Structure 1
Amino acid sequence: MRSRFRSDPRLTVRMTVTLFLLGLLYVAFVVALVLLLKSWVLVVVVAAGLLGAQYWFSDRIALFAMRGRVVEREEYPELHAVVDRLCALADMPKPVVAVSVMEMPNAFATGRNPDNAVVCVTTGLLRRLEPAELEGVLAHELSHVAHKDVAVITVASFLGVIAGLIVRFALYSGLFGGRRDQNTAAVLAAIMGVSITVYALSFLLIRALSRYRELAADRAAALLTGRPSALASALTKVSGDIARIPTRDLRTAQAFNAFYFTPAAGREPGIERIFSTHPPLRQRVEQLARISAELGEAATPGRD
């Protein structure tokens, strides 16, 4: 079923190209491991099993990691009301609604498709935003669900996760594995080299896709609600408040930056922006200002 969120052909093309390139990289990675380990059954079974687990259980993993819990309408009636209204407006299934007790103001969506999706907000976000701003943030997250880019990012990130785990295992083996012959050491070094290369390439591909998907979600949310200035206000407010949260409190959240409404980072990216999961705040706000001008929206962010 298609939702009323504005389709984005450029996002579709980017997701398709990224998945195609990552697929080629995945095949090359598996072939390299098979040649090095000389056991294609082990490599394929383990890789397929982990990919399936990440795809089917990504929503539970993300909720558990971010200490989110499913909440019923009786607990958070206003939150459910906003989600109900947006889903009716977008003509899409209502996702499971969850809340994470966390000071960091943020939100994320996860799940393999619109029928198996979760939208989670933090208590820090609920305390800070006005109703129109919260609506903009939730519309942004629902756009991710409707465009199925949550599932794409989940699958796309799998390759980097596996490569990273192999690098850690190789390092651990090198440090604690004791004495070994030269052939074993050479194989471990080769596996580590291939894994580092695969991780770096997949990392850059996913970051490039992630930055565009955030712009696409901002645009879709602004057009659905008709209030881009409210979303811009939420972006500015949340980004400013996150910058004031101690870095140590953000470290556990940064691993999930690709899923967040805005990254759990204490400052705007500079030259390292090519490694960022999100475009700069200025770029997002400027896009929303252009949409606001196109819609002829009044300048007041929180207007009704």
Structure 2
Amino acid sequence: MELVSYSIDTEIPASYAEKLLDFIHYKFILPQQQRFREITRKKSETGSYLSYSVLDAGGNHLLQVEVTASTPVEVRIKPLVEQISDTFVEEAKQDVVIALQLFEEKVRKTTLYFAWREGEKILPEATNRGEKSLQRVFLETQVMLFILFTVLAIFLFASISAYYPDKIWITPLVLIASQLVFVIFSPRFIARTADWHITKENPTITILKYILPLKEGAEIGKTYTKEQLLQIKKEIYEEILASRGEIDCESAHKVFGKYGIECQPENLTLKKVNVYALVKKTADIFGYSVPKIVISNTMLPNAAASGSSPNNGLVLITTGLLVQLEEEEIQSVLGHEFGHLKGRDPLLLYALTSGEFFFRFYVLLPFFPFMLNPFLFIFYFWLVMTLIFFIAKFFEARSDLVSAIEIGKPQILASALEKIGFQRLLYERTPSFRLQEWVGLDPHPPIYFRVSRLEKLRAPVKIKYPLLQSIKDVLSGFFATI
């Protein structure tokens, strides 16, 4: 195997490059000496770099990795043995991505983010999304509706039994009809809770980011208290952005000076994302009209599609996704969401949960009344939930494939998943956690499985039946962990 060289885009300014190497060295590499040895720090004409070797379980040196302190971050992986598994190389790549994302997450704790759409009110990103609970209910495959309507069913069943016992048979019909209304009109519900609506006439989200400079000797992420950051942001909004709609170091000095902060121009960046163009480009590839597009101003990186069909669809994107991903990565994520619309996944899961509800009400409870025992019912409910969420993983895996087929960039989608799912990727190094991810109440397959599967694909991807292939792959991935 030959030398592998590549670069990783990063949010951090050049002034933080040495701090990044310090973090990887002392916070990621040294605590895992069973995996890493021969750790050295050197300086060259191209800058400082960190070098270390990667070991296998037997202590054999398999790879030498060099990480250069630059923006973007440069990485070189050199095999130390003739025959080496691709799995080891991919894991070594992921080590750098995970360490970089852990560092960036710490930097974000002392970063001021401002997002706005031209012509609309500038809003601070939300730190508490309690008021956005409808979004969480309808996001992705909408499996959470099953839990919501099960609770509602218990309440409705008890009420009708008490007051209209002869009408108890209509309970499932009322609930299923209500759930269908929720599925069909979910785009409208989500749109009402969104912060901004993206249109062809006003397509761009502007994101301004300022990384507060480190105090001498301070640790990344612990320079300022949460209360201080909120107060600084409040004053920036009220005194500068609300009136001017833009900011520079000269105008920010008035606010920063109160807190002993020196404004450093290299830490101030502005990013404009034409969200409408990205969604339209994706819709054109799929042959669909442009769905409704809404933005949720939260730093949690996420995107979701809702609606009963492509013509009744809505795409939601968070500002966190726009901040953390490059445009190619955003489009690949959008391809995944369009895969849900193409497959009509919300309707499929509605049919699945409705079928279970009818079975439970008209078959299970009448013919097996002992299931009313609280312990048996809880066990049955857990079993059904696990099965439904596992089936939902088929649809999520299918959407990954659809994005790879239509957008044609499976490795880019894999890169996006590594960035937004790096914490899960780190935990999934533990075999027991992998199994937990497979059987847990999450509609998504484990990140390691999704990334590995996408990395193996080569464009153009040609798969005749993406759902059948995804079912096969998910089952294979699950049984491989047992």
User: How does the TM-score come out when normalised to structure 1?
Assistant: 0.61
Distance 1:69 1:191, change over 3 A: farther
Q: For residues 69 and 194 of structure 1, what CA distance do their matches in structure 2 show?
A: 46
Structure 1 residue 82, shift from structure 2 partner: 1.4
Q: Which residue of 1 aligns with 2:182?
A: 54
What is the RMSD of the two structures over their aligned residues, measured on CA atoms?
3.7
**Counterpart amino acid of 2:436?**
E
1:115-194 equivalences under 5 Å are: 115-157=311-353, 190=372
| Contact residue 133 and residue 234 of structure 1 kept, 8 A | yes
**Counterpart amino acid of 1:279?**
P
Q: Which residue of 1 aligns with 2:453?
A: 287
Q: Which residue of 2 aligns with 1:165?
A: none
| Contact residue 410 and residue 459 of structure 2 kept, 8 A | no
**Counterpart amino acid of 1:43?**
T
Q: For residues 176 and 309 of structure 2, what CA distance do their matches in structure 1 show?
A: 20
Report how many aligned residue pairs link the two structures: 219
Distance 1:144 1:192, change over 3 A: same
Q: For residues 104 and 278 of structure 1, what CA distance do their matches in structure 2 show?
A: 17
Structure 1 residue 111, shift from structure 2 partner: 0.5
Q: For residues 177 and 380 of structure 2, what CA distance do their matches in structure 1 show?
A: 19
Structure 1 residue 59, shift from structure 2 partner: 2.5
Secondary structure in 2 matching 1:54: helix
Secondary structure in 2 matching 1:291: coil
Q: Which residue of 1 aligns with 2:420?
A: 238
State which of 303, 307, 311 in structure 2 corresponds to 1:107: 303
**Counterpart amino acid of 1:214?**
E
Give 5+ residue unaligned stretches, structure 1.
Answer: 1-21, 163-186, 244-262, 296-304
Distance 1:214 1:231, change over 3 A: same
Structure 1 residue 148, shift from structure 2 partner: 0.7
Structure 1 residue 198, shift from structure 2 partner: 5.5
Structure index of larger Rg: 2
Give the share of equivalent positions with the same residue, in percent.
24
Q: For residues 278 and 288 of structure 2, what CA distance do their matches in structure 1 show?
A: 14
Distance 1:191 1:97, change over 3 A: farther
**Counterpart amino acid of 1:287?**
R
1:43 aligns with 2:171: yes
Distance 1:103 1:44, change over 3 A: same
| Contact residue 405 and residue 460 of structure 2 kept, 8 A | no
Superposed CA deviations along residues 146-166 of structure 1, whole A, max 9, x for unmatched, are 11113323454568899xxxx
- Normalized per residue, which structure has more helix? 1
Q: For residues 191 and 375 of structure 2, what CA distance do their matches in structure 1 show?
A: 33
Give 5+ residue unaligned stretches, structure 2.
Answer: 1-145, 205-272, 359-368, 462-482
| Contact residue 51 and residue 155 of structure 1 kept, 8 A | no
Q: Which residue of 1 aligns with 2:197?
A: 70
Secondary structure in 2 matching 1:97: strand
- Normalized per residue, which structure has more strand? 2
Q: For residues 71 and 137 of structure 1, what CA distance do their matches in structure 2 show?
A: 18
Superposed CA deviations along residues 122-175 of structure 1, whole A, max 9, x for unmatched, are 00000111111111000110111011113323454568899xxxxxxxxxxxxx
Q: Which residue of 2 aligns with 1:10?
A: none
**Counterpart amino acid of 1:210?**
A
1:270 aligns with 2:466: no
Q: Which residue of 1 aligns with 2:277?
A: 81
Q: For residues 389 and 314 of structure 2, what CA distance do their matches in structure 1 show?
A: 22
Superposed CA deviations along residues 238-287 of structure 1, whole A, max 9, x for unmatched, are 112xx4xxxxxxxxxxxxxxxxxxx9x99544332212321111111111
Q: For residues 136 and 207 of structure 1, what CA distance do their matches in structure 2 show?
A: 24
| Contact residue 98 and residue 120 of structure 1 kept, 8 A | yes
Q: Indicate the structure whose relative CO is greater, using CA pairs within 8 Å and at least 6 residues apart.
A: 1
**Counterpart amino acid of 1:282?**
Y
Distance 1:122 1:155, change over 3 A: farther
Q: For residues 279 and 179 of structure 2, what CA distance do their matches in structure 1 show?
A: 30
Q: For residues 72 and 91 of structure 1, what CA distance do their matches in structure 2 show?
A: 19
Q: For residues 146 and 38 of structure 1, what CA distance do their matches in structure 2 show?
A: 42
Structure 1 residue 87, shift from structure 2 partner: 1.4
Secondary structure in 2 matching 1:226: coil
Structure 1 residue 196, shift from structure 2 partner: 3.4
